[in-house]
Homo-oligomer: A and B are copies of this chain.
Amino acid sequence: MTAPPPGLALLLNRYSLGIKHLQAPGPDAAQLQTMVAAALRAPDHAELVPFRLVVVQGEARSRLADLFAEHAQRKGKDADGVAMERERALRAPMTVAVLARIDLGHPLVPAHEQWMCVGGAVTNLLNAAHALGFAGKMLSGDKARAPHIAQAFCEPGETLVGWIALGTPTRPPHGEARKTTAQALRFW
């Protein structure tokens, strides 16, 4: 039995970690560049780069907290619920909004392949964060589809997919390995 090749353990052991288990510091500028470079290495038919990553950190987190709180109020949440939404934006030292730019009329690349590229980018960004000692998870839900929140992030033609919360883990990210390869693997 030989040791697994470098990098394989990383891929097999990355688990998402909730915001309540994240603390400062978040990635620094150089680490962020590395994470985005990894995102750009996801398969991307025709090299469209059909996404933008928008970084929210430092003081900008309060603006995001205001948006989340306003959304919670509009949904009729009580004071505790609103406070929890604020906390969701404030606790992670870095939050990266994921915007998709899907060209529905591209002659070569169907929309679903462009969405797959966005997903590959998110996966590789999280893989790279994990390799650098950080943890986090993708957040989406109805907040991402609220018009006043989408407008705060998107240029025309962009779709706000959600946010990747990132920080230093307060406990090791681990999962329960609920999935088995038999769920996904067949032979022709």
Write the residues of chain A forming the contact surface with B, with a CB cutoff of 8 angstroms: 5-16, 32-34, 36-43, 45, 47, 49, 51-57, 60, 63-64, 97, 100, 108, 110, 112-113, 115-124, 126-128, 130-133, 137-138, 140-141, 153, 159, 161-162, 178-179, 181, 183-188
Residue of B nearest to A55 (CB): B187
| Residues of B close to A40: CB separation below 8 A | 179, 181, 183-184
- How many of these chains are in the complex? 2
- Cross-chain contact of A115 among B51, B112, B179, B185 (Cβ < 8 A): B112
- Give the shortest distance, in Å, between A157 (CB) and chain B (any CB): 14
- Cross-chain contact of A47 among B14, B110, B178, B186 (Cβ < 8 A): B178
Residue of B nearest to A10 (CB): B7
- Give the shortest distance, in Å, between A33 (CB) and chain B (any CB): 5
In the assembled complex, the Cα of A115 lies from the Cα of B113 at a distance in Å of: 8
| Residues of B close to A12: CB separation below 8 A | 34, 37-38, 41
